[in-house]
Amino acid sequence: MIRIAIVEDDKTSAQLLTDYLKRYKQVNDSLFSVSRYTNGMNFLDEYKGEWDIVFMDIEMPHLNGMDTARKLREIDENICIIFVTNMAQYATSGYEVSAMDFMVKPVGYFKFSLKLQ
């Protein structure tokens, strides 16, 4: 089972990612466990190392996604971070936190499924 965290303050964007994961699960016969967090602070407060992949927005209240990723890397060097954001100007900053990938919203299912593979 692949354990996934979605850290996204926008309800519509989070639901889209959840729907894509459900679709991917059906098409590829995969098992996922998905948790959602509306901001980086809550995600880090509850982090216990149980996730394999985190889909993270950058523009969020309290603690933005880039700062969240920096703090996450202090406690977990191996988790796969994939930024999903409308802030393309931060793409190169993803290298600073060893992000696996960077997707610019709106993300289509085909692109999402390729990244997830």
pLDDT of residue 97: 86
The list of the chain residues with pLDDT below 50 reads none
Question: In this structure, are residues 46 and 37 in contact, taking their beta carbons and an 8 Å threshold?
Answer: yes
Write down the pLDDT at residue 98: 85
The pTM for the full model equals 0.92
**∠ Cα 40 78 33 (to 5°):** 65
Element spanning 85, H or E: strand 80-85
Tell me, what's the pLDDT at 115? 87
The closest of 8, 23, 1 to 83, measured between CA atoms, is 8
pLDDT given for residue 46 in this prediction? 93
* Cα–Cα distance measured from residue 12 to residue 10, given in angstroms and rounded to the nearest whole number: 6
Q: What is the pLDDT of residue 85?
A: 85
HSE of 56, CA atoms in CB hemisphere, 13 A: 33
Single-letter amino acid, residue 91:
A
